[in-house]
Amino acid sequence: MQHSGRTYFAYAFCFLSFAAFGYYHMQFNTDAPQGKTEMASEAEFETPQQCGDERNYLEKDLLQISPEFRNTRQSVEKGQPPRQCVSYIMKNFASLDTPMSFRSQCRNEKGEKLAAPVRSFKTNAEGKPEYFQSPCVTETYVNSVYNSLVDVAECFNIPLKELFPKLFNESGLHINTWASGGDSGVGQLTDNALSGDVFERYNGEEKNPSGFEWYVAEMLKSDKPSCKRIANVPAAFTFAVPAGQKLCSTEQAQNDPTCYRVWRKDVRCEFLAVPANPLRNVLTTAILYKNNQQRTTGIVYKGGVDYLDGQPYQKGTPYGGYIRRSDYVERMRKLGVSHPDQEVIKQMIMSLGFNAGIAAPKNILDDYLTFREKSQLKLADSDFNFQDTETGKWAVLTNFRTFWKGLSGTNDDYRAALKSVEVFNVLKMDAKKLQGRYAELRTYVQKQFKGIDKLPEAEQKKIELAVQTYVEKERKTWLDNSYEKAARLTFPEFVRIGHAKKAGGAPGYLSFIAVKYVELEKKLGHATCTEDKYLKF
């Protein structure tokens, strides 16, 4: 985070997210692949010789991965995407040769293993960290991620193509992506996802082990070849627990000092270090997915098979869980939606659930439909189109940094932010009054920061935090006053505002991953790396 001039960015509210830059508005209708999918012989890889020492830091550890996951497979089963999807995402996530702060290593300069990842080994002449470049995108590297994704998806009945836009947006499928908030690896596992979900007792019942242990036990009961291949790599689901400690659920760990808290940041290499990863990270991501799926759809995983209402699940069967209890499909139909699709509804809830927690998107969708019903406002299929709906105009309301930049930045920043406040007219709110209030806030911030550069650094930070807290409270008031009125907007716009009001994460998240979906459709063909339907009725 940079802190210079008269622009003061938040210490308390600054978050790293990988957002899309711009939007595509295209659809493609080429035929989806049929039958077996041959491995993409045209997929482009880099060689260790091309990358040089600065980018080959994972190569030796990659060679320690089981050959079953390290080597090229001749084909994959029907419905699974080709390997080219992984190589494309890896190479187009971010500049490969540019050092970036979100890349990590789990070995030090001497090659010794680390418990906690590092972002750099040294600083430059200006005292700034010298970050790492991307790992070399070799065939071995791509295979290790691709084979892990395909086998875990097959074993746990997860539509891998549904996950690619999310993973493209967040990790680029790189093993060592480590965001500033601690989001880790291929699946960008967060602190809350690990401690508040994956390692909580399964179903919250005291008699159960952690969700991680429960799902692994069910996986080990399966005769599926994919599950058996995972089972043959114990490092993917076991941990080197220190002597005198044991693996526990988060509930157990609250009162038992002998518990190994594998979810802690100071041992985050558990989900980043090769050779246990990427398979362990992908497996853990699948467990999070299945937990969220159970809440959203009622589907329960047992021995490699999905069950709904005690019967093996058949695709197309009406879902249970949130979707049934809230009666989303019928409520949407009554409001005028012609093709309310339970699969797309599931995608909306579960995709946002990865970023905001699974309860938040469910509550936001409930509110949207309730407000529409209350106001007797009809809906159309187009109101649920994340692919073609621009939501960035609401950033001044939904994103603290955008709201703050206009108050603390240059005159041009201020004028741009003030102009953007006009969007509140759409909600039938008094935009001129809000612009007046924004101008007052600008004056307040300038007054508080006058002469601040002459104060000790600790005093500067104290003043900045106090001012930012005051400003954030004001923005939250705007959010509260806008929320129900925003139900007149499309759902992508409403969900951005609701996300900012009700949860952490990145408001606009579903729009960001919809952009990645469209890019994959454009570059690699319809339904090659993507679901046939995605975030759009």
Report pLDDT digits (tens) over 328-352. 999 999 999 999 999 999 999 999 9
Residues 377, 410 within the same domain: no
The candidate with the shortest Cα–Cα distance to 8, out of 398, 395, 400, is 400
Take residue 409 and report the two structure tokens written for it.
Answer: 């930045």
Parallel, antiparallel, or unpaired for β 105-107 and 75-76? unpaired
> Sign of the C-alpha dihedral, residues 278, 280, 281, 286?
positive
All residues at 6 or more sequence positions from 376 whose CB lies less than 8 Å from its CB, including other chains: none
Together in a domain, 358 and 460: no
Shared domain for 218 and 339, answered yes or no, is no
Which residues fall within 8 angstroms of residue 388, CB to CB, at 6 or more apart? 25, 536
- Write out pLDDT tens, residues 131-170: 999 999 999 999 999 999 999 999 999 999 999 999 999 9
- Judgement on whether residues 326 and 470 belong to the same structural domain of the protein: no
Q: Do β-strands 105-107 and 113-118 pair in parallel, antiparallel, or remain unpaired?
A: antiparallel
Q: What is the largest CA-CA distance in the chain?
A: 70
Same domain, 341 and 481: no
Please list the residues that pair with 118 across neighbouring strands. Answer: 105
Q: How far apart are CA 296 and CA 111, in angstroms?
A: 44
The string of DSSP letters for 62-128 reads HTTS-HHHHSPPSEE-TTPPPTHHHHHHHHHSS-SSS-BTTB-EEE-TT--EEEEEESEEEE-TTS-
Q: Burial letters for 222-257: b for 16+ Cβ neighbours within 10 Å, e otherwise?
A: bebebbbbbbebeebbeeeeeeeeebbbbbbbeeee
Q: Residue 364 domain-assigned? A: yes
Query: Which pLDDT value is given to residue 83?
Result: 96
- For the beta carbon of residue 133, count every other beta carbon within 10 angstroms: 17
Domain that holds residue 435: 394-489
Q: Are 520 and 530 in contact (CB under 8 A)?
A: yes
Q: Are residues 202 and 232 in the same domain?
A: yes
Within-domain flag for 6: no
Given 302, 328, 359, the domain boundary residue is 302
Same domain, 413 and 333: no
Which residue among 239, 272, 302 closes a domain? 302
Considering the domain architecture, whether residues 369 and 220 belong to the same structural domain is answered as no
Residue 294 pLDDT: 98
* Tokens read off for 5: 């001039």
Residue at 496 is within a domain: no
In a domain, 110, yes or no: yes
The pTM of this model reads 0.90
pLDDT (tens digit, 0 to 9) for every residue of the chain, 537 residues total?
A: 333 333 333 333 333 333 333 322 222 233 333 333 333 344 489 999 999 999 999 999 999 999 999 999 987 777 799 999 999 999 999 999 999 999 999 999 999 999 999 999 999 999 999 999 999 999 999 999 999 999 999 999 999 999 999 999 999 999 999 998 899 999 999 999 999 999 999 999 999 999 999 999 999 999 999 999 999 999 999 999 999 999 999 999 999 999 999 999 999 999 999 999 999 999 999 999 999 999 999 999 999 999 999 999 999 999 999 999 999 999 999 999 999 999 999 999 999 999 999 999 999 999 999 999 999 999 999 999 999 999 999 999 999 999 999 999 999 999 999 999 999 999 999 999 999 999 999 999 999 999 999 999 999 999 999 999 999 999 999 999 999 999 999 999 999 999 999 998 899 999 999 999 999 999 999 999 999 999 999
Which pLDDT score is estimated for 79? Answer: 79
Residues 332 and 253 in one domain: no
Whether residue 178 is contained in a domain is answered as yes
Q: Contact 126/48 with Cβ under 8 angstroms? A: no
382 and 399 together in one domain: no
Q: Does residue 29 form part of some domain?
A: no
Helix (H) or strand (E) holding 171: none
Domain count across the chain: 3
Round to whole Å and give the CA distance between 58 and 106: 10
Please indicate, yes or no, if residue 40 is contained in any of the structural domains: no
Which residue, among 373, 194, 217, has the nearest Cα to 268 in the 3D structure? Answer: 194
**How far is 463 from 190, CA to CA, in rounded Å?**
30
- Would you call the peptide bond into 278 cis, given omega within 30 degrees of 0 as the criterion? yes
What's the length of the chain? 537
Q: What is the model's pLDDT at position 99? A: 97
Based on the fold, state whether residues 202 and 79 are members of the same structural domain: yes
Q: Which of 302, 326, 341 is the last residue of a domain?
A: 302
91 and 171 fall within a common domain? yes
Question: Is 312:512 a contact under the CB 8 Å cutoff?
Answer: no
The reply to whether 535 falls in a domain is: no
